[in-house]
Amino acid sequence: MNCLVVVDPQNDFCPGGALAVEGGDQIMPSINEMMAAHDLVVLTQDWHPQNHSSFASSHPGKTPLEMIDMSYGPQVLWPDHCIQRSDGAAFHPALDTSRAAAIIRKGMNPAVDSYSAFFENDKKTQTGLAGYLRETGCTQLTLAGLATDFCVAWSALDGVAEGFEVEVRLASCRGIDFDGSLDAALENMRKSGVKLV
Ligand code: VGL
Ligand code: ZN
């Protein structure tokens, strides 16, 4: 069984959104096409409370893209984005959500960010996706979505660590590329056995 995991295909990561990734909206048609070739489709949805600790606005005097130290390690600060029930948190209207068997929401704990579809950034708290995929018999994962260097890369690395065969379709991803983060993520994925297509 193979599963297409579409990472955070949300308005806030597309042009005009709060944390816009260049060309983020352009990946939706190819993602829709990929769905037919997969047994299962899972979507992830960044889903933050208003006062989330990854928001620069939660830290007086801080601005987006500054770093802070959290109890679980260094954390990039972001503009407010993907606030629960906002339009920005909604899936992009061009995405076909009809085949989604499950939607994994993440980043709901105000104290911990969550890039990966599998674990929060403390690298301990599970989202439940690994168990879901095992119980549905999926061994091969195809990843696409936003952003290549954050949520897609962290999901791919955790997927391999959890024992799945992971392929990332780069043509159906777009990156933030902050401070060399895109090259570093690509190198990390390559080294860890993620298949980059
Ligand atoms: C993401 C930064 C903050 C992502 C989510 O989807 O890559 N990046 N929250
Ligand atoms: Zn987020």
78, two tokens: 């972001």
Residues with a known catalytic role: 8, 106, 151
Ligand 1 binding pocket includes 12 (Cβ within 6 Å): no
DSSP assignments along 1-49, one per residue:
-EEEEEE--BGGGSTTSTT--TTGGGGHHHHHHHHTT-SEEEEEEE-B-
Among candidates 178, 189, 3, 6, which has minimal Cα distance to 104?
A: 6
Q: Quote the CA–CA distance of 10 and 145 in Å, as a whole number.
A: 9
Q: Could you read off the pLDDT of 78-96 as tens digits, one per residue? A: 999 999 999 999 999 999 9
Give 18 Cα–ligand 2 centroid separation in angstroms.
Answer: 10
Q: Which one of the ligands is nearest to 24 CA?
A: 1
Q: Would you write out the chain's pLDDT as a tens digit for each of its 197 residues?
A: 999 999 999 999 999 999 999 999 999 999 999 999 999 999 999 999 999 999 999 999 999 999 999 999 999 999 999 999 999 999 999 999 999 999 999 999 999 999 999 999 999 999 999 999 999 999 999 999 999 999 999 999 999 999 999 999 999 999 999 999 999 999 999 999 999 99
Indicate the residue type of 72: Y
Cβ of 146 less than 6 Å from ligand 1: yes
Q: Whose CA is nearest to atom 8 of ligand 1?
A: 150
The values of phi and psi at residue 124, to 5°, are -120, -45
Summarised one tens digit per residue, pLDDT across range 119-137 is 999 999 999 999 999 999 9
Asked whether 14 lines ligand 1 (CB < 6 A), one says: no
Q: Tokens 């499950």 sit at which residue?
A: 102
Nearest CA to ligand 1 atom 6: 151
Cα of 36 vs centre of ligand 2, distance in Å, is: 28
Please enumerate in sequence order all residues whose Cβ is within 8 A of that of 56, keeping only pairs 6 or more positions apart, or say none.
62, 63, 64, 66, 77, 78, 79
* φ, ψ for residue 13, nearest 5 deg: -95, 10
**Beta carbon of 150 within 6 Å of any ligand 1 atom:** yes
